[in-house]
């Protein structure tokens, strides 16, 4: 089976590795950028995705780079504690939750692809232009260079997978009438700063509400010995402007605007203002998503990751869901009798699951507890249980784990998605007979 992957980001590289692990090695990855660069800021890889990367043999390397996040605390805009829970291994998962620089995660995936598939399998500076179906049932795709005029490659394959992000050209080809971005009215500012460890040193905090919020966590272990951490932060603000701001991940924000918006976010446990001031660069992007699609099943063409289900970055699920997509698609392609059956099975499993996450994230997902506190106790509280019951708080946290497929017991006991592990298990059963 020949597979062409459009997009060399986290989803595309994870798919390449997953297909290889499932015994499907005739894979080519086409990436628009001139080179695969380790850019970006911090992201979270949740235990359900770390499990998949572990089964791909990457956890040891990732654990040397990222931080195994230990706990998560929600605070009100006044810095009052609303909810606290352990994360990863501390919460009972068999796999950690990793906070890591997106570029470093991409680097680990990229190096693994080069080693396992070979350097000639990644084609940079190839922008997807169009595709068509061959008479024999296969697919062809054409790619253009940076000038967007001259065709630089025509790829023939049995399957084409669009992993080309929120502005996916493959998605646009499948849905030519378009499905516009939906802007939430929220501006996001992102930065990475050097700072002192806070709380446990491996803590993640979420402060504020949907009106103004900061999410902060360390993403590097390299500075721990010197009482200094590389800290990732995201600041969001609901604005009234009707026109969507620029949709460019490299758009640099005005630092003074961010400082003015969060001037009162200085607390005894964390000085957010200092983090904003100390960031080398601050990037601005509107919080956008798209409505869930009616299908990803186009026979020999499908979608994965942000190309399939762009979502608000709530609960750290964007990259994690893309990794899960990759593993499920590879498994189904390896086990089903036809490619079409594999794509159909993938669609039936992952499209409803990710649509539920998209809808939950639009409603603030697990962050809803902060909005309820803001509405019920805008001037603060003496005891959070005077504002919300423990059962209410637990239900919000548990509901989101259910939606994202990350409940501790369910994840720990779930069958492996590895085809080799499944084959070994079936062999054991046959031998026992």
* 429, pLDDT greater than 50: no
Separation in Å, CA 193 to CA 75, 271, 379, 383: 21, 12, 31, 33
Separation in Å, CA 267 to CA 198, 207, 214, 218: 11, 10, 12, 17
Q: Is the dihedral of CA 208, 214, 215, 217 positive or negative?
A: negative
Q: Which of 226-230, 325-329, 354-358, 376-380 comes out lowest in average pLDDT?
A: 226-230
For 289, phi and psi rounded to 5 degrees? Answer: -150, -170
Q: What angle do CA 355, 319, 179 make, to 5 degrees?
A: 45
pLDDT attached to residue 432: 33
Comparing CA positions, the residue from 84, 302, 79 lying closest to residue 200 is 84
Q: How many other C-beta atoms can be found within 10 angstroms of the C-beta atom of residue 403?
A: 19
Q: Which of 128-132, 147-151, 155-159 comes out lowest in average pLDDT?
A: 147-151
Separation in Å, CA 113 to CA 96, 110, 165, 421: 23, 5, 19, 21
CB burial of residue 311 (10 Å; 0-12, 13-18, 19+): buried
Say what percent of the chain tops pLDDT 90.
Answer: 77
Measured distance CA(3)–CA(242) in Å, rounded = 42
For 194, phi and psi rounded to 5 degrees? Answer: -90, 130
* 147, pLDDT greater than 80: no
Question: Taking a C-beta distance cutoff of 8 angstroms, is the pair 40, 103 a contact?
Answer: yes
* 402, pLDDT greater than 50: yes
Q: For the chain, give every domain's residue range.
A: 2-69+102-180+293-364
The radius of gyration of the chain's CA atoms, rounded to the nearest angstrom, is 22
Comparing CA positions, the residue from 292, 315, 338 lying closest to residue 215 is 315
For 397, phi and psi rounded to 5 degrees? Answer: -65, -45
Topology of the domain covering 2-69+102-180+293-364: FAD/NAD(P)-binding domain (3.50.50)
Measured distance CA(295)–CA(299) in Å, rounded = 11
Average pLDDT value for the chain:
91
Q: What is the mean pLDDT of residues 151-177?
A: 95
Give the 3-state secondary structure of the chain.
CEEEEECCCHHHHHHHHHHHHCCCCEEEEECCCCCCCCCCCEEEECHHHHHHHHHCCCHHHHHHHCEECCEEEEECCCCCEEEEEECHHHHCCCCCCEEEEHHHHHHHHHHHHHHHHCHHHEECCCEEEEEEECCCCCEEEEEECCCCCCEEEEEEECEEEECCCCCCHHHHHHCCCCCCCEEEEEEEEEEEEEECCCCCCCEEEEEECCCEEEEEEEEECCCHHHCCEEEEEEEEEECCCCCCCCCCCCCECCHHHHHHHCCCCECCCCEHHHHHHHCCCEEEEEEEECCCCCCCCCCCEEECHHHCCCCCCCCCCHHHHHHHHHHHHHHHHHHCCCHHHHHHHHHHHHHHHHHHHHHHHHCCHHHHHHHHHHHHCCCCCCCHHHCCCHHHHHHHHHHHHHHHCCCHHHHHHCCCCCHHHHHHHHHHHHHHC
- In terms of residues, how long is the chain? 433
- pLDDT category, 431, cuts 50, 70, 90? very low
Strand order in the sheet with 42-45: 42-45, 98-101, 67-68
* 383, pLDDT greater than 60: yes
- pLDDT category, 121, cuts 50, 70, 90? very high
Comparing CA positions, the residue from 281, 279, 283 lying closest to residue 187 is 283
pLDDT attached to residue 38: 66
Separation in Å, CA 20 to CA 165, 229, 331, 419: 22, 36, 11, 11
**pTM higher than the cut 0.85:** yes
Measured distance CA(311)–CA(353) in Å, rounded = 12
* 34, pLDDT greater than 60: yes
- pLDDT category, 14, cuts 50, 70, 90? very high
């Amino acid at each position: 089976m020949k597979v062409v992957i459009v997009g060399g980001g986290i989803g595309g590289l994870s798919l390449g590795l997953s297909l290889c692990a499932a015994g499907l090695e005739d894979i080519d990855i086409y990436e628009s950028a001139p080179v695969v660069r380790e850019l970006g800021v911090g992201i979270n890889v949740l235990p359900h995705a770390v499990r998949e990367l572990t089964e791909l043999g990457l956890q040891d390397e990732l654990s040397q780079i990222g931080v195994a996040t230990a706990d998560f605390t929600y605070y009100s805009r006044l810095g009052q504690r609303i909810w606290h829970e352990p994360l990863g291994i501390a919460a009972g998962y068999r796999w950690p939750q990793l906070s890591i620089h997106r570029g470093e995660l991409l680097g680990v995936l990229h190096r693994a692809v080069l080693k396992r598939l070979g350097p000639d399998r990644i084609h940079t500076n190839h922008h997807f232009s169009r595709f068509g179906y061959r008479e024999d049932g296969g697919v062809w795709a054409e790619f253009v260079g940076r000038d967007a005029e001259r065709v630089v490659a025509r790829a023939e394959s049995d399957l084409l997978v669009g992993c080309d992000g929120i502005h996916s050209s493959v998605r646009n080809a499948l849905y030519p009438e378009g499905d516009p971005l939906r802007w939430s009215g929220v501006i996001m500012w992102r930065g990475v700063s050097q700072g002192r460890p806070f709380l446990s040193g491996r803590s993640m905090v979420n402060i504020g509400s949907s009106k103004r919020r900061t999410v902060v966590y360390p993403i590097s272990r390299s500075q721990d010995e010197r009482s200094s951490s590389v800290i990732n932060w995201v600041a969001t603000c609901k604005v009234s402007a009707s026109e969507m701001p620029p949709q460019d991940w490299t758009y640099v924000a005005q630092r003074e605007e961010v400082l003015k918006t969060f001037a009162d976010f200085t607390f005894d446990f964390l000085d957010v203002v200092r983090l904003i001031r100390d960031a080398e660069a601050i990037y601005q992007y509107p919080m956008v998503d798209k409505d869930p699609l009616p299908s990803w099943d186009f026979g020999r063409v499908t979608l994965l990751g942000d190309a399939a289900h762009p979502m608000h970055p709530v609960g750290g699920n964007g990259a994690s869901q893309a990794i899960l997509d990759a593993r499920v698609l590879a498994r189904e392609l390896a086990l089903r009798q036809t490619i079409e059956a594999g794509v159909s099975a993938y669609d039936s499993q992952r499209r409803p699951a990710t649509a539920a996450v998209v809808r939950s994230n639009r409603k603030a997902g697990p962050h809803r507890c902060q909005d309820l506190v803001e509405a019920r106790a805008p001037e603060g509280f003496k005891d959070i249980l005077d504002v919300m019951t423990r059962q209410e708080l637990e239900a919000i946290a548990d509901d989101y784990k259910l939606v994202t497929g990350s409940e501790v017991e369910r994840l720990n006991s779930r069958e492996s998605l590895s085809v080799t592990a499944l084959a070994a298990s079936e062999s054991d059963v046959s031998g026992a007979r």
